A = this chain, B = another copy of it.
């Protein structure tokens, strides 16, 4: 499928955002950090940037009085010739002095992701389109599924499809499947795994190995209705709003740090099937925002919660 011509979708203000060096144009980078909160962090970071000739394009910060942690995300432009390696080298002094957990990435760099799906393809379709149209700054390395339903959809976007079946009840089959997934992630330099209505439960081991790198969409407004058939649970409880939750996957099912949630109003006449139908749109919205924010380094972990510099 040819990509639609769509100038409108670039989220970067300047051409330099693409991360290529072009004739002395300024490069743009994103710095994210978290550290114990104390006096002088903003001063140290802004001084560093000022001294290295960088210009702040956008900056957000947050100090959490509960956890005593400080978080910051700075989008800045640098002089031509200032590479990401140089920045990483020169910032480390500041990073060390404040015991920061920090990263620098070229802004506009497209994160490599794998999308996983089982039987329902609405989120998959939504993410494929957003990526293809430039609205989502990710490179979809592959679509992985325990079924073959979406082989054609992936092909229509020129994305490699991997059928990794899982035999119900077979621990061996599950381990084999997870091993295949891990090999794919390694070979394709995948940075993020998106469970786009992928319904197999991942092993504790896999969750730990990919900690902070797996986003799942659970089709309920957590912490309500964890586990199976949440729309049926919601219907039984008679809630007036249903929702979906995009969260990082941890070993505890549906317990991971929440990135984004969305809800939609439903009336008494809605059957569970109709809740499923309404819920699809909500799932797409919540997941798409979460993946976008994560791929733009806007989500930082704050204990069991997230800080989202949207």
A66→B262 CA distance, assembly (Å):
27
Q: How far is the CB of A295 from chain B (nearest CB, A)?
A: 14
- Contacts A221-B221, A241-B263 known; A152 to B47 CB distance under 8 Å? no
Q: How far is the CB of A109 from chain B (nearest CB, A)?
A: 19
**Residue contact A8 to B268, C-beta cutoff 8 Å:** no
Question: C-beta contact mask, A113-125 vs B, less than 8 Å → 1, else 0?
Answer: 0000001111001
Residues of B within 8 A of A223 (CB): 224-225, 237, 239
- Contacts A121-B4, A239-B222 known; A9 to B273 CB distance under 8 Å? yes
Counting CB contacts under 8 A, is A85 at the interface?
Answer: no
Counting CB contacts under 8 A, is A302 at the interface?
Answer: yes
Q: Give the oligomeric copy count.
A: 4
- Contacts A2-B151, A6-B119, A46-B46 known; A39 to B65 CB distance under 8 Å? no
Of the residues B147, B155, B225, B241, contact of A243 by C-beta under 8 Å: B241
Return the chain B residue nearest A125 by Cβ: B129
**Residue contact A260 to B285, C-beta cutoff 8 Å:** no
Interface size on A, residues (CB 8 A): 85
**Residue contact B46 to A57, C-beta cutoff 8 Å:** no
Of the residues B8, B60, B221, contact of A60 by C-beta under 8 Å: B60
**Residue contact A5 to B302, C-beta cutoff 8 Å:** no
- Contacts A49-B43, A238-B305, A306-B268 known; A277 to B8 CB distance under 8 Å? yes
**Residue contact B50 to A238, C-beta cutoff 8 Å:** no
Of the residues B65, B260, B302, B308, contact of A13 by C-beta under 8 Å: B65
Residues of B within 8 A of A50 (CB): 39-40, 43
Of the residues B119, B121, B225, B261, contact of A239 by C-beta under 8 Å: B261
- Contacts A240-B261, A241-B263, A280-B135 known; A5 to B62 CB distance under 8 Å? no
Counting CB contacts under 8 A, is A209 at the interface?
Answer: no
Those of A44-94 within 8 Å (CB) of chain B:
46-47, 49-50, 55-66
**Residue contact B10 to A273, C-beta cutoff 8 Å:** yes
**Residue contact B306 to A238, C-beta cutoff 8 Å:** yes
**Residue contact B43 to A268, C-beta cutoff 8 Å:** no
A34→B194 CA distance, assembly (Å):
41
Sample (9) of A-B pairs whose CB atoms are under 8 Å apart: A5-B147, A6-B119, A42-B46, A43-B47, A56-B63, A65-B271, A152-B156, A237-B304, A268-B305
Which residues on A are within 8 Å of B, measured CB to CB? 1-2, 4-6, 8-11, 13, 39-40, 42-43, 46-47, 49-50, 55-66, 119-122, 125-126, 129, 133, 135, 147-153, 155-156, 221-225, 236-241, 243, 257-258, 260-263, 265, 267-269, 271, 273-274, 276-277, 280-281, 285, 288, 302, 304-308
